[in-house]
Structure 1
Amino acid sequence: MKAFIISGLLSVFILSNASCTNTTGSESTSQNTNKNEVIYLNQESFKKLVFNYESNKEWVYNGKVPAILDFYADWCGPCRQIAPILKELQKEYEGKVQVFKVDTDKEKELAAVFGIRSLPTLVFIPLNGQPQAVMGARPKAEFEKMVSEVLKVNK
């Protein structure tokens, strides 16, 4: 049931040409808790800070500010291409938006629960309403437009 609901949420996501296919794996991750920095999530921190998919049947965002959730892999070229852009956005929006990153090679269950098939997949999570995603590398201006339109946040 959880997978069905989450799959339904992901059905609203926009597809892109510039993407990678996830094909490799390993098992651990780290978390950064400094203010105004990108936070790397593992399964437990994801459930605490973003969405506890084990206890909620419907989408309930646990964050205090809108977020960008980046599903990535170290080997993915487009993922490496957008990483500095996401760091810039984290700094430029000064606590108005939180960027989270999930390494799909280390967090296979999270990738599976969300049906991640292409990398990078970025999920834009507003405080109210349903998340929306884009797949593939995009220019910074396009991410800024998504932050403004989907997350309803201005610099």
Structure 2
Amino acid sequence: MENIKDYQQYLEGYGFEGNTPTVIDFFATWCGPCQAMSPMLQRLAQEYEGRLKVIKIDVDQNQELASAARIMSIPTLFFINKDGEIQRYIGSMPYQQLSALAEQIVD
């Protein structure tokens, strides 16, 4: 299993604190599925405010991090629990699945 410690050097300036469950969305502005996911991720951030953090990372603007994270397809989502363990999901998904995955890392 991946651990966020492998990527922390690249996350400066993104507000990643490491002690709050976090969803990282690797996206691009030109990506249709990424654009479709954006409102759902905003909703997720609002509904889980204080319990979960959502960070968006544009792979075109952050190529070094995208390369280090081995991002080959977008959207790619990292669901990171309090212990820093990462569950990686590739592709878009319905809100119900996003919410279910979020529930797994906030417990």
Over aligned residues, Cα RMSD in angstroms?
Answer: 1.9
Please state how far the C-alpha of 1:94 moved relative to its aligned partner. Answer: 1.8
Give the unaligned 5+ runs of structure 1: 1-7, 11-41, 51-61
Please state how far the C-alpha of 1:148 moved relative to its aligned partner. Answer: 1.2
**Contact 2:28/2:59 (CA < 8 Å) preserved in 1?**
yes
TM-score normalised by length of structure 1:
0.60
AA paired with 2:38? Answer: A
Higher relative contact order, structure no. (Cα contacts within 8 Å, ≥ 6 residues apart): 2
Q: State the identity %.
A: 36
SS at structure 1 position matched to 2:92: coil
SS at structure 2 position matched to 1:133: strand
Listed one character per residue, the Cα deviations across residues 20-67 of structure 1 (whole Å, up to 9, x for unaligned) are xxxxxxxxxxxxxxxxxxxxxx85314xx43xxxxxxxxxxx423100
TM-score normalised by length of structure 2:
0.85
Higher helix share: 2
Structure 2: distance between partners of 1:127 and 1:44: 18
SS at structure 2 position matched to 1:68: strand
Give the unaligned 5+ runs of structure 2: 4-9
Aligned length: 101
Larger radius of gyration: 1
The match for 1:118 among 53, 68, 73 is 73
Which stretches of structure 1, 4 residues or more, deviate above 3 A after TM superposition? none
Matched, 1:82 2:37: yes
Please state how far the C-alpha of 1:152 moved relative to its aligned partner. Answer: 3.1
Structure 1: distance between partners of 2:24 and 2:99: 14
**Contact 1:9/1:130 (CA < 8 Å) preserved in 2?**
yes
Aligned to 2:2: 9
